[in-house]
Amino acid sequence: MSEPLPSRPPEHGPAAPRILEIGPTGYMHAAFPQTTEFYSTWPDETASDPARGRHLVTPATLRELSDRLADPSFDLVVVHAPACAPWTPRALGRTVFRRSVLKGSLPLARSVAPQLLRGRVAAPVAVLDFDDPAVIDAGNAFLLDRAVAWFKRELPADHWQAFTGTLHWRVPTARFRRVARNRRRMEKLRPLSLGVPLEVFSRPLPRVVPEAEKTADVFFAGRVKDSSTVRENGLAELLALRDDGVVVDIPDAPLPLDAYLERLARARLIWTPEGYGWQCFRLYESALCGAVPLANRPSIERQAPLRDGEHALYYDVEPGGLAGAVRSALADRPRLARIAAAGRAHVLAHHTPVAIARHVVETSLRLARGLEPGGA
């Protein structure tokens, strides 16, 4: 059995913002499809649909995109942060040594598109940074200067440390922090939820499974080898719990999405340890499916966080921390059910793609109008 995901529908009409989006994914376009023009920079993208606001960045459309950036009728320009400047050896190598090149496609123009923001831009600019690193690449300093807000998924608790090893050669010093330009940059940083992925949000979800029908105490599916030490160390504790009678569900192979979501729904706890970054999709997927996320304690500032004991559970990474948290949680199953219900409601309210996109728009426009500290 499944149920449609209760959510506010994508916005359109006179009140919806006019957005120009540049990046590999039409994130804002998915939330505001009627009023967003999306220019795809994904190297392997081949389809466009201008009538529906979806365009490809090509040498032929760069001039068109430049003209759109200068159009004052847009309320907001949203650009996805590139990993690095397009002229660096890493970027050139990733562009040239692709399978698509063998088919005659060399998407150099797509890596250049964000550089157009060095020119005239009529609307306020917001940057979306969904990448794993907790730092801002030095090649993106011009975007940070241009933006009213930089929304960062892995935002260090000390915002200054987003410049470590990039805009400063080490951890930013007191001297660096005293410079007015650097402070203006730091004040533009805002936390960004990774949230429920678009693919999950677009489909019906498994029904919420009542406590009495749960079939696993703990579920985990994800990369462990060559990933975070949090995962490597925690897995050993989970396997020891299994030997003690705790029902631990760890698939032997990757699951199809529908089966994965069903397994989430049938577990009481979902182990959601950090990987290359602290946030992972599983954190939000598990709450959405009516289970309780169990994650190591956060090391970043979060947008509308899932709070410990209210929407999720967190544990210490020191030896025994995970096992102790699992045993304590399973000892009070009615409490787990309450946390699961609150977590699902919280994710629906704040961590769907539509909710996150709306937060980006509202925050950016407030900053552009000088209604809260920070911004340009």
Cα–Cα dist 31/352, whole Å: 10
Residue 101 sits in the same domain as residue 45: yes
pLDDT at 14 over 50: no
Residue 62 sits in the same domain as residue 158: yes
pLDDT tens digits for range 63-91: 999 999 999 999 999 999 999 888 788 76
pLDDT tens digits for range 363-373: 999 999 997 77
Cα–Cα dist 204/197, whole Å: 13
Cα–Cα dist 69/253, whole Å: 45
Under 8 Å between Cβ of 40 and 56 = yes
Residue 21 sits in the same domain as residue 105: yes
- Count of Cβ atoms closer than 10 Å to residue 125 Cβ: 24
Residue 177 sits in the same domain as residue 215: no
- Count of Cβ atoms closer than 10 Å to residue 284 Cβ: 27
pLDDT tens digits for range 106-153: 577 889 999 999 999 999 999 999 999 999 999 999 999 999 999 999
Provide the pLDDT for residue 283.
Answer: 98
Provide the pLDDT for residue 106.
Answer: 56
CATH of the domain at 313: 3.40.50.2000
Domain range for 282 is 198-350
Q: Which pTM value belongs to this model?
A: 0.93
Task: Examine residue 154 and state whether it is found in any structural domain, yes or no.
Answer: yes
Task: Examine residue 329 and state whether it is found in any structural domain, yes or no.
Answer: yes
The most confident of the ranges 4-18, 77-91, 352-366 is 352-366
pLDDT tens digits for range 299-347: 999 999 999 999 999 999 999 999 999 999 999 999 999 999 999 999 9
Residue 323 sits in the same domain as residue 202: yes
Residue 357 sits in the same domain as residue 251: no
Residue 73 sits in the same domain as residue 155: yes
